[in-house]
A and B are shown apart, each in its own frame.
Chain A
Amino acid sequence: MRKLILLSFIIISAPALAACGASDADAPAKAVESYLTALVEKDGDRLPTLVCGDWEADALIELDSFQAVTARLDNLACSQTGTDGETALILCTGNIIATYNGEDQALDLSGRTFQVTQEGGEWLVCGTR
């Protein structure tokens, strides 16, 4: 019994300790990557959980624009380039490849900077520049 309790304690506390020590420096960039992944997967349920309230309607409009095409991400890599107050500015490289009627069209992601803000402890995409 004591061994079981000890084992349970270790199982629970190890990730908890890891959680305390974990760095979330790249969390804003990951938030953008998750957002773009949900976008090309046309996941209308997941997408609203990845954006801030103010930008939810815009995000869903962007999602709608992909409904008629098959989309995938190509060489996606995002990183933080700076901050603007409490907003993290994220730049991505790579493309969204949108396929319509067998024809590929590459949408360059480096053309816009994503604004990411923290809400309730979560980094959420909150617009582009």
Chain B
Amino acid sequence: MGLIQIGASILTALLVGALTRGTWRTYALLALSVLAVYWFQPVVPLRSFDFWLPSLSLALVVLVWFITSQISAWKSRINFIGLSIIIGLITLVDLTRYIFPQPFLTGTTPPQFIQFIVFVLIVSLAIFAFTYLSRNNVWLLSLATIFLLSILFILKSPTLSLQASIFFRSLANRPIENASALDLRWLGFSYIAFRLIHVLRDKQLGRLPELTLPEFATYVVFFPSLSAGPIDRAERFAGDLKKDFSLTQDETLLAGQRIIIGLFKKFVIADALALIALNDALAVQVHTTGWMWIHLYAYAFQIYFDFSGYTDIAIGIARLVGIKLPENFAAPYTKSNLTQFWSSWHITLTQWIRAYFFNPFNRWIRGYKSIPSWTMILIGQLATMLLIGLWHGITFNFILWGAWHGLGLFLQNRWSDLAKTRFNINNPRLQTAMQLGGVLLTFHFVALGWVFFALSEPSLSWQVLSVLSGVSR
């Protein structure tokens, strides 16, 4: 989100918070979120994809709602209105090509109306078929999850993204030489997919409460958290929507304070640090140990202020409309061990992975009695952190970053167990010194991990690590 989009989001949230009540607030938020899906989507070099990708996001939202909701809910007035708002607004976005001389809401001119009608028919047929089949086949929920994961896998893998771009270019008779892995920049899909998978999985486990389509769709594509999270839980979000809310002066001030802090973090601190933060070019150019540490520190703080700034902005805007989004950061660089760090960095992603991967995986692996417990811990931590690494992108460097943290968590786990039995420190000064040492050690471990995260190639990372350690100049 740029400053204009943030400004417009604040203004519209203020209007919705001040002027709407009850169900009308949900409708207004749904409408704004649907429009934001198109407005926030960046232009991509494939023609009309900045219309098709957001349309597919919304189609997936509607599809997942139909296969996870009760048949009796389909005919309710509120769901009919919700569906009308979604289809009506998508249609209106497409029709803007005939109304405005320049693209409006989308970066490029939307496709012709006839193409849009064909798209709606195909999506309707797919939803109908999937919904009909899912009534008697619970495995279709798993199939939907696999489908979402497959799209995510393609988008996160540079090789597969490139192949997908070549495929779409071939279909459209475009030169494939200009294809790039960055051609398919699908805004917010990582977050949309994780929200949808959470709903599908909870439905399978029988713990998903009944949600109306407007509640469900607003939850998945809620405009403040569309591009950078946090990943809320559907039932918690719907609970906020159902609450009676009126925007008070105090609430406005608190939200405003949060937004201003977020803007300062993102656009002043993070953007300033970005000028000297570690990147591929600096990795090659800098040969001095001291300077390399400065660039690494700058990156560590830049990524924190950038991401937590966006989160503050999202939480602040959401607060204006009565939604209390979960926190994503809790002073992570002040934590004295890696487990605490991961409980305070990108909290909602970590909780998601813990709920839908780490805990089930641990339960499964504990079934194998012959495996020693330390091996189970190692496998569990490594697998979880590798998954978090892969969520950021399927590249060697993200795998190395995940492995770095997985091993770090394992070593910290072993050390904690050992320290509990061997050492009993009662001296308060020593405890403070240990705490401080833990904070410094954890921060530097995390900072060294960013060397893999920030750079594109393992060779560059090794080069930077050798300069940082003073081995090479």
Decide yes or no whether B108 CB sits under 8 A from chain A.
Answer: yes
Out of B81, B107, B112, B175, name the residue touching A46 (CB < 8 Å).
B107
Q: Which chain A residues numbered 6 to 25 have a C-beta less than 8 Å away from chain B?
A: 8, 11-12, 15-16, 18-19, 22
**B178 CB contacts on chain A under 8 angstroms:** 48, 56-57, 60
- Do B43 and A45 touch across chains, with their CB atoms under 8 A apart? yes
Closest residue of chain A to B102 (Cβ to Cβ) is A34
- With A4-B81, A60-B178 known to touch, is A49 a contact of B108 (CB < 8 Å)? yes
Out of B43, B45, B88, B101, name the residue touching A30 (CB < 8 Å).
B101
- Do B47 and A56 touch across chains, with their CB atoms under 8 A apart? no
- Give the interface size bracket for B toward A: 20 to 34
**A34 CB contacts on chain B under 8 angstroms:** 102
Interface segment out of the listed B91-99, B137-145, B263-271, B450-458: B91-99
- Do B98 and A45 touch across chains, with their CB atoms under 8 A apart? no
- Do B98 and A15 touch across chains, with their CB atoms under 8 A apart? yes
Out of A16, A46, A47, A57, name the residue touching B113 (CB < 8 Å).
A16
- Do B95 and A45 touch across chains, with their CB atoms under 8 A apart? no
Select the residue from B91, B98, B99, B107 with max chain A CB neighbours within 10 A.
B98
Q: Which chain A residues numbered 38 to 66 have a C-beta less than 8 Å away from chain B?
A: 43-50, 53-54, 56-57, 60
**A50 CB contacts on chain B under 8 angstroms:** 108
Decide yes or no whether B228 CB sits under 8 A from chain A.
Answer: no
- Do B88 and A11 touch across chains, with their CB atoms under 8 A apart? yes
Closest residue of chain A to B77 (Cβ to Cβ) is A1
Closest residue of chain A to B43 (Cβ to Cβ) is A45
Out of B43, B81, B112, B177, name the residue touching A49 (CB < 8 Å).
B43
Q: How far is the CA of A18 from the CA of B95 in the complex (A)?
A: 9
Q: Give the number of residues in A that approach B within 8 Å (Cβ atoms).
A: 30
- Do A15 and B95 touch across chains, with their CB atoms under 8 A apart? yes
- Do B77 and A53 touch across chains, with their CB atoms under 8 A apart? no
- Do B43 and A18 touch across chains, with their CB atoms under 8 A apart? no
Q: How far is the CA of A50 from the CA of B43 in the complex (A)?
A: 12
Select the residue from A12, A16, A22, A48 with max chain B CB neighbours within 10 A.
A48
- Do A122 and B43 touch across chains, with their CB atoms under 8 A apart? no
Q: How far is the CA of A12 from the CA of B44 in the complex (A)?
A: 27
Decide yes or no whether A121 CB sits under 8 A from chain B.
Answer: yes
**A60 CB contacts on chain B under 8 angstroms:** 178
**A1 CB contacts on chain B under 8 angstroms:** 77
Distance between B301 CB and nearest chain A CB, rounded to angstroms: 30
- Do B98 and A57 touch across chains, with their CB atoms under 8 A apart? no
Distance between A78 CB and nearest chain B CB, rounded to angstroms: 13
Distance between B124 CB and nearest chain A CB, rounded to angstroms: 16
Decide yes or no whether B84 CB sits under 8 A from chain A.
Answer: yes
The 9 closest A-B pairs by CB, nearest first: A19-B98, A15-B95, A48-B45, A49-B47, A45-B43, A53-B174, A121-B112, A49-B108, A53-B173
Report which A residues bind B (CB closer than 8 A).
1, 4-5, 8, 11-12, 15-16, 18-19, 22, 30, 34, 43-50, 53-54, 56-57, 60, 119-122
7 A-B pairs besides A12-B95, A19-B97, A43-B43 with CB distance below 8 A are A15-B92, A15-B98, A19-B113, A47-B45, A49-B43, A53-B173, A53-B175
